[in-house]
Chain A
Amino acid sequence: GQQLNQSPQSMFIQEGEDVSMNCTSSSIFNTWLWYKQDPGEGPVLLIALYKAGELTSNGRLTAQFGITRKDSFLNISASIPSDVGIYFCAGHPGANSKLTFGKGITLSVRP
């Protein structure tokens, strides 16, 4: 079945820095979703993308739906300590298909 690749597994950045993470697939997706999960909590939807090439912002977060429909990018600008957590991408291949999740990237922010 479809798989979403997120790497590296962990990222370490300094407070104030920008960070970029991507999510790739070997197959086409119709929807890309980005979630953030804090320890012991459920994932929270950050940004949803529904159209190839779409660029959407949510505060300091910006995400893009890749033109090829096989990838998506999430950028966090001017990181702050509360940005720590696990960032998951998820993709929907289309009608009558289940949502596919990446394994997540754990982000650490050094003050």
Chain B
Amino acid sequence: DGGITQSPKYLFRKEGQNVTLSCEQNLNHDAMYWYRQDPGQGLRLIYYSQIVNDFQKGDIAEGYSVSREKKESFPLTVTSAQKNPTAFYLCASSRAGLAGGTDTQYFGPGTRLTVL
């Protein structure tokens, strides 16, 4: 059953702690993305990766870090430097990266992070 999985579904963190959100895909997609969603706002791009061992900052990368050591995995770390980390985080993937020009993205189920 192909798709994108994110874990955990709900995550609670104390202020000052780093936390890592998992994203795995078995669609054999080259590109993967992390978005942040806040109530009443559209999706905002945090980081994206078009190929293994390469990634670029999106529009709101400050306070976040990523790695892309395997094609199927793109974990996101929310660091203590992120001032307002409570949000719904969505991972997505697409067959081709930005150079493909069509970039149909498929989303995971999301992780809701709450900072206590």
Contacts of B6 in A (CB 8 A): 42
- State whether A96 touches B99 (Cβ < 8 A): yes
Complex interface residues of chain B between 96 and 112 (CB less than 8 A to chain A): 98-110, 112
CA distance A43 to B93 in the complex (A): 12
- State whether A99 touches B107 (Cβ < 8 A): no
Complex interface residues of chain B between 30 and 47 (CB less than 8 A to chain A): 40-43, 45
Contact of A104 with B by CB under 8 A: yes
Interchain pairs with CB closer than 8 A, number: 60
Residue among B40, B41, B90, B103 with the highest chain A CB neighbour number at 10 A: B103
Contacts of B106 in A (CB 8 A): 45
Residue of chain A at shortest CB distance from B94? A99
- State whether B109 touches A41 (Cβ < 8 A): yes
Interface size grouping (class) on chain B: 20 to 34
Contact of A44 with B by CB under 8 A: yes
Contact segment of A11-19, A58-66, A70-78, A87-95? A87-95
Binding site for B on A (CB under 8 A): 9, 30-31, 33, 35, 40-45, 48, 50, 88, 90, 92, 94-99, 101-104
Q: Could you pull out 29 A-B pairs where Cβ atoms are within 8 angstroms?
A: A30-B101, A31-B104, A33-B104, A33-B105, A35-B107, A40-B110, A41-B110, A42-B4, A42-B6, A42-B107, A42-B110, A43-B107, A48-B104, A90-B105, A92-B101, A92-B103, A94-B101, A95-B98, A95-B99, A96-B98, A96-B99, A98-B48, A98-B58, A99-B103, A101-B42, A101-B43, A102-B42, A103-B41, A104-B42
